[in-house]
Every structure is written in C-alpha cells, then in structure tokens.
C-alpha cells in the first residue's frame, strides 16, 4: 500500500526534474539550473548562481568604481565585491557611460544596496553624521523603477548580453552566496 502511494510521487518528482523549466500540470514550479558564473570563487557554490545578464539590479547609495586594466572581467568585478564584504552587496559589470563604450572596456561598480521597486522612494541625508562608509551619493533621493537594461551603445539601442549584475550576500554563518 505504501509503495502504491509512493510511486505517483516519485514519478511526479522525476517529471519535474526533467521538465527543463516548464510548469507541470499541477502548477508546481520547476527550478531551472543556471550556469555557475566564475567557477572557483570562494562562495558556497564555488562561483555565482544568483545573477542577471543584460540588466543592472544595483542601487545608488554607495558606489565604488573599478576600471580596466584593474578589472578585466566579470569575475574580477565579483572578486572586488568579495574583497569588500562590509560595504558591497551587489555589483554591475557593464559599459557604464560613453567613455567605457568608446574605450571598449566595461566598468565594475560595486554597491551597498539594490534597485528599489517602482513605488518606493528613499531620501538620504548625505551630511548626517550617522552615515558610515558612504563615499559618494549620486543623489539624495533614490527613486524606484524597473530594473534597467544594459546597452553597448550611447543611444541605448543595442542590448549588452555580456553585462552581468547580481547580489553578493555575506551570511551570518560566515559563508557567501552570489
């Protein structure tokens, strides 16, 4: 009797695993496998499995920029975030401005916060003495929006599929996820 109950469950699990990212008839989510970005990084997954390609999930509160030749790849960029565990929560590797595009080299920018949802606005007090490790505020107001796409041209018409951004989380157990 127990065997008869287990067989449908086992078959459902096998169907879910082999579904390749599609929802099943019972509308249960199926998680697709993502490629590990930058294998060998000192993280829980020996690289990053939480990232987006072609979009910029970063916020604006604190930014630190790294340029070519100091940073030559997305892996170098993520490593910069890992090297700054108390001030970096996410990164973007993209052509950040016209100079980057003209030079043909992406910039690495590490941030302390994420892009806010579109109905959220936060006002910062840049001169408040309680601020710690805020080297530069791009604005005193951070307005939420959809996550912007990255482009390879100044006019914003050619999507940059080689841009990457994502979180770098320092967990309280001492491990890192990205």
Q: What is the DSSP string of 98-151?
A: HHHHHHT--EEEEESSBPPPTT-EEE--TT-TT--S----S-SEEE--SPPBPB
The mean-pLDDT minimum among 3-12, 39-48, 78-87, 130-139 falls in 3-12
The mean-pLDDT minimum among 25-29, 113-117, 138-142 falls in 138-142
For 88-100, how does the pLDDT look when each residue is reduced to its tens digit (9 = 90+)?
999 999 999 999 9
- Tell me the pLDDT band of 43, cut-offs 50, 70 and 90: very high
Domain ranges (residues) in the chain: 1-33, 52-177
- b/e burial code for range 55-73 (CB count within 10 A of at least 16 → b): bbbbbbbbbbebeeeebee
- Our CA dihedral for 50, 15, 18, 31, rounded to 10 degrees, sits at -10
pLDDT of residue 101: 95
Q: What is the rounded CA–CA span in Å between residue 49 and residue 57?
A: 15
3-state helix, strand, coil in the chain (%, to 5): 20, 20, 60
């Amino acid at each position: 009797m127990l065997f008869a109950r287990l067989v449908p469950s086992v078959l459902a699990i096998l169907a879910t695993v082999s579904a390749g990212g599609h929802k099943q008839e019972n509308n249960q989510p199926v998680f697709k496998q993502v490629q590990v970005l930058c294998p060998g990084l000192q993280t829980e997954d020996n690289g990053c499995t939480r990232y987006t390609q072609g979009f910029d999930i970063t916020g604006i509160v604190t930014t630190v920029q790294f340029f070519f030749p100091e940073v030559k790849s997305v892996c170098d960029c993520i490593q910069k975030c890992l090297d700054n565990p108390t001030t970096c929560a996410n990164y973007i590797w993209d052509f950040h401005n016209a100079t980057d595009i003209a030079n043909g080299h992406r910039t690495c920018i590490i941030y302390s916060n994420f892009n806010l949802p579109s109905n959220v606005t936060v006002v910062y007090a840049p001169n408040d003495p309680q601020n710690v490790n805020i080297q530069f505020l791009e604005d005193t107001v951070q307005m939420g929006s959809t996550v912007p796409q990255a482009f390879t041209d100044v006019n914003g018409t050619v999507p940059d599929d080689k841009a990457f951004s994502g979180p770098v989380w320092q967990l309280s157990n001492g491990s890192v996820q990205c």
